[in-house]
Amino acid sequence: MFDRLVMGVDPGVAATGVATVAWSRAGRSVVLGSQTIRTPAGSPDGDRLYAVYRTLRRALADTHPETVAVERLMWGRNVGSAMAVARASGVVLLAAAEAGIPVREYAPLEVKLAVTGNGNAAKDEVRLALRRLHAIADLPPEPDAIDAVAVALCHIHRSPLREAAR
């Protein structure tokens, strides 16, 4: 029924968005599942990262995606926050490697451009584009999970172009 199955991940220590998106040649995308992995504030970072790892590992085993698409960290002014996201990204890469699933990373600008046509789109514009332009009806309520849907959809749209350019 579906030709591609991609897990999108928006990494973070406090909240990691995860969404599995299926795509058919008819051009239809469907969110098969999504969640936001939340970790307790104040817990040691190692415990929080391990919770993300365990939950992500379970999701990979349950869904068997062909690819994991991850939003790439963009370094900003807040180095502490960037380090936390970098650690969470490492956990995502580890879980995918352990499962034998390839990972592709996409910059936030690339994700927004693929989904909305505007690399500077706001979060509400991304949600609206997913619903209206891509006809995804069952969007998750959490912003992190919506970002994960957008990352997965970006991979679905961009990967044929990357393969053709090789």
How far apart are the C-alpha atoms of 102 and 82, rounded to whole Å? 23
Task: Note the Cα 20 to chain centre separation in Å.
Answer: 8
Catalytic-labelled residue, pool 71, 98, 142, 147: 71
Give yes or no: 144 in active site: yes
Catalytic-labelled residue, pool 98, 138, 144, 147: 144
Give yes or no: 110 in active site: no
Which of 46, 94, 43, 45 lies closest to 68 in space, CA to CA? 94
Query: Which own/partner pairs from 119-123 qualify as long-range (CB within 8 Å, at least 24 positions apart)?
Result: 123/147
How far apart are the C-alpha atoms of 51 and 65, rounded to whole Å? 20
Task: Note the Cα 51 to chain centre separation in Å.
Answer: 17
Catalytic-labelled residue, pool 3, 10, 110, 138: 10
Give yes or no: 10 in active site: yes
Q: What positions carry a catalytic annotation?
A: 10, 71, 144
